[in-house]
Structure 1
Amino acid sequence: MLLNPDIDNAGVRICSRCIYDERVPSIEFDENGVCNYCRQVDALAELYGTGDAKGLNSFYEILDSIKKNGKGNKYDCIVGVSGGTDSSYLVAMAKEWGLRPLAVHYDNTWNSSIATTNIHKVLSCLNVDLYTHVVANKEADDIFRAFFFSGVAEIEASTDLGYAYLLRQVAAKFSVKYILEGHSFIEEGVTPLGRNYFDGKYIKSIHRQFGKISMETYPLMTFSRFMASALLSQVKFIRPLWYVDYSKERAKRYLQEKFDWRYYGGHHLENRMTAFYHGVYLPVKFKTDMRNNTLSAKVRNGMMSREVAWREYNTPPAVEEELLSYFKKRLAISDEKYLEIIGSRPRNWTEYPTYKKRFERLRPIFHLMAKANLVPMSFYLKYCFPATAPK
């Protein structure tokens, strides 16, 4: 996976603007050597008016709609919180914008203690209520184990999808029509097409084949549940950081000064399963390192040179010393079994049943839904077009 840290002698073709290289799924380069993902970021910034008057005006209109729609309710919006930078900052900003948020946390029981403490520090100071759904730890671990045994990359897909459906469930429970998400394509980049795919059918099929415990506390989002929430409940997903001027570094300083919030050491490290996925599982089994997403974003933003970003990308990721042993012990995987699985042929999501072709067939409908914020625009861009799975 690691190449020559000298970007001029890397041995692969690299985008002339960021550090995505020819190994990235579905990548294309224009006549100037700029990749299609850089152009996608530019297109999104233009569409949403990110950080300029157009974006602010659009977002202020959305704020007015949230406030008007929420009159008479205890809460006018839902904000998912993980204890990380973006979600912590977003819930604080929601209060500053005059909103009445309900914070929602999906607990897969692998949280770091820092993340849990951060959530309570921020919310108690802001006087924001917290709704937490805890998946039974044996059930959560059984799903993680099933994905590990299946040999696919998306070992923590259940967390991402379960979290998304939980937000919809809580919105329906409290009659809230707006969900705010703390994602920034400017700061986090764009995940390449074909990488890290997941949906409810994918999770169910892998768990049926490799799992042992029935899914009772896990909020599985099937296609019918997804469409019912989007079309019948008409819940809207809003990503404020797509409209406003946002800097993760400024957000960290703000949180530290105002709430005594603590940084957890790196992107995605607020959860130990996520840390294992990014720091161990992907690099070792799939020779993939998703740090190029955020590093490329820093290069585009002028916060880091391509040379420095490429050099950092080609150094091993930082990993908690006991993380691997914790993973094996908690999932009851022997050293021998771990080595067998980690050394077996990498498999990808195309080898298991998914809703992907259905999403592609319904692309015109999802385009309209994305424009109406009934599904995230990122869902439309990533799930509704043909994609090349990583090899």
Structure 2
Amino acid sequence: MEVDRKKVQVCTRCVMDNISDSTIIFEADGTCNYCNDALKAIDTVYFPDESGKRTLEAMIDRIRKEGKGKQYDCLMGISGGLDSSYVAYLGHKYGLRVLLLHIDDGFDSKVTTENISRICNTFKLDLIVERPDEAQFNDLVRAFILAGVPDICLLQDSVLFSILYRTAVKNKIGYFLSGFNFSLESITQSGMDYTDRLHIRDIHRKFGQVPWTGKLKLFSIFDKRIKYGFFHNIKSFKPLFFLDFNAGRAFSELNEACGYEFYGNKHCESTLIKFLQVYYLPFKFNIDKRKSHYSSMIVSGQLTRKEAMEKLKEPQFDDLIFNQEIDFVLNKIGMTKDDFDRIMSEPPRLHSDYRTSYVNKMTATILKMRKKLLGY
């Protein structure tokens, strides 16, 4: 999306702007709806104090009691990133029998694989590694790039949650631990819903090359709300909402506890997500994901606006090294550099240019209404 540089406006509190987001709303004082909504919600959802600790410990006790007589108390997906890794560490500290699930889609960085091994070996946690159908998954990634849409990461989420819930049922586990948090993720730009299976299949029908066999299981809104949420009553708990989750301290704690190593910016534990965040999104859509990450840290007091503005001036990648990573991703999905360059030069497309589920649209509308009323 092109924006007249004379009309570029940056929030006076955080670093969100209108360069890639036409939906952003600025108040008279120059602050934006993103940080205003986050600050409105903070006292309702985030408890980095003694009351949060009490809630956390009470919930841990509840999970432990409901897991009595079973092999595991809870299940969690681990990407190797900071958030999920720290939650796995918390589960260990509180004595929970946590079963870890990792989706190896072929795009893990070396440090990610090593970090997951360190966590499992040091904290004696069991790990299941699932490898989704490679040909089908890579073809989906390729199809989404050909479609020219931004939210390609939803493919990983759809596959993850499909496997996660089936694993929970198989092992009779009633609780998930989630690494989602307010501290680093209070500000996120609206994206496509990973539970819209109809949307994913429509793009594959239009741009996919590998015939759909059904080997790759996708997650739907029905699965989330009805099948697993209602009939199986699987619940999710987000422990990082109930403690003072600071990125720097969390990394230091993990490093000291198990030798956990730094992998780069948020979510760059995956070569695919790194490729999307530092190249595909910025150069095709003018979307710099660091802005929402840093803005969340401003809201939670981990970063000043001045510090964030300085960090945004830093290059996101080393040309030589990253060109090798681009080649790796393109080779994995079977796309030539010429075809990719052509796609990058074409106008970006919206997810709404393709079929979407009516049920998902209604759910999104309800969630927006709730956020407008309650701030979260």
* TM-score of the alignment, normalized to the shorter chain, above 0.5: yes
Contact persistence 1:152–1:346 (CA under 8 A)? yes
Cα 1:25/1:77, change in 2 over 3 Å:
farther
Q: Partner residue of 2:198?
A: 201
Cα 1:183/1:69, change in 2 over 3 Å:
same
TM-superposed deviation, 1:381: 5.3
Q: Partner residue of 1:359?
A: 360
Distance 1:328 1:362 in 2: 35
Q: Partner residue of 1:331?
A: 333
TM-superposed deviation, 1:382: 9.9
TM-superposed deviation, 1:122: 0.8
Report the secondary structure of 2:209's partner residue.
coil
Deviates more, 1:117-126 or 1:155-164: 155-164
Structural mapping, 1:5-84, within 5 Å: 12-23=8-19, 24-84=21-81
Report the secondary structure of 2:76's partner residue.
strand
Q: Which amino acid aligns with 2:10?
A: I
Q: Partner residue of 1:275?
A: 274
State the identity %. 27
TM-superposed deviation, 1:150: 0.9
Structural mapping, 1:1-391, within 5 Å: 12-23=8-19, 24-193=21-190, 195-198=191-194, 199-213=196-210, 214-226=212-224, 227-319=226-318, 320-355=322-357, 357-362=358-363, 380=367
Contact persistence 1:48–1:54 (CA under 8 A)? no
Contact persistence 1:77–1:176 (CA under 8 A)? yes
Contact persistence 2:193–2:360 (CA under 8 A)? no
Q: Partner residue of 1:389?
A: none
Contact persistence 1:108–1:135 (CA under 8 A)? yes
Cα 1:303/1:222, change in 2 over 3 Å:
closer
RMSD: 2.6
Aligned residues: 365
TM-superposed deviation, 1:310: 2.2
Deviations 1:123-158 (A, max 9, x none): 111111111210122222111111111111122321
Deviates more, 1:309-318 or 1:161-170: 309-318
Distance 1:131 1:35 in 2: 42
Report the secondary structure of 1:266's partner residue.
coil
Q: Show structure 2 runs of 5+ residues with no match.
A: none
Distance 2:361 2:329 in 1: 36
Distance 1:35 1:222 in 2: 32
TM-score by length of 1: 0.86
Deviates more, 1:22-31 or 1:228-237: 22-31
TM-superposed deviation, 1:10: 8.2
Q: Partner residue of 1:371?
A: none
TM-superposed deviation, 1:383: 11
Cα 1:276/1:382, change in 2 over 3 Å:
farther
TM-superposed deviation, 1:92: 1.0
Distance 2:46 2:312 in 1: 30
Contact persistence 1:115–1:264 (CA under 8 A)? yes
Q: Which amino acid aligns with 1:223?
A: I
TM-superposed deviation, 1:249: 0.8
Deviations 1:268-288 (A, max 9, x none): 211111011001100111111
Contact persistence 2:46–2:182 (CA under 8 A)? no
Q: Show structure 1 runs of 5+ residues with no match.
A: 4-8, 367-379, 386-391
Contact persistence 1:77–1:178 (CA under 8 A)? yes
Distance 1:103 1:90 in 2: 11
Cα 1:70/1:25, change in 2 over 3 Å:
farther
Distance 1:215 1:155 in 2: 21
Q: Which amino acid aligns with 1:327?
A: V
Contact persistence 1:112–1:272 (CA under 8 A)? yes
Distance 1:113 1:382 in 2: 42
Cα 1:139/1:102, change in 2 over 3 Å:
same
Contact persistence 2:39–2:299 (CA under 8 A)? no
Report the secondary structure of 2:183's partner residue.
helix
Q: Partner residue of 1:376?
A: none
Deviates more, 1:327-336 or 1:242-251: 327-336
Distance 2:192 2:278 in 1: 15
TM-score by length of 2: 0.89
Deviations 1:51-78 (A, max 9, x none): 0233223323322221121111110111
Cα 1:184/1:94, change in 2 over 3 Å:
same
Report the secondary structure of 2:184's partner residue.
helix
Distance 2:246 2:134 in 1: 35
Cα 1:348/1:100, change in 2 over 3 Å:
same
TM-superposed deviation, 1:304: 3.1
Distance 1:363 1:196 in 2: 10
Distance 1:178 1:166 in 2: 15
TM-superposed deviation, 1:49: 4.1
Q: Which amino acid aligns with 2:362?
A: R
Report the secondary structure of 1:187's partner residue.
coil
TM-superposed deviation, 1:315: 4.5
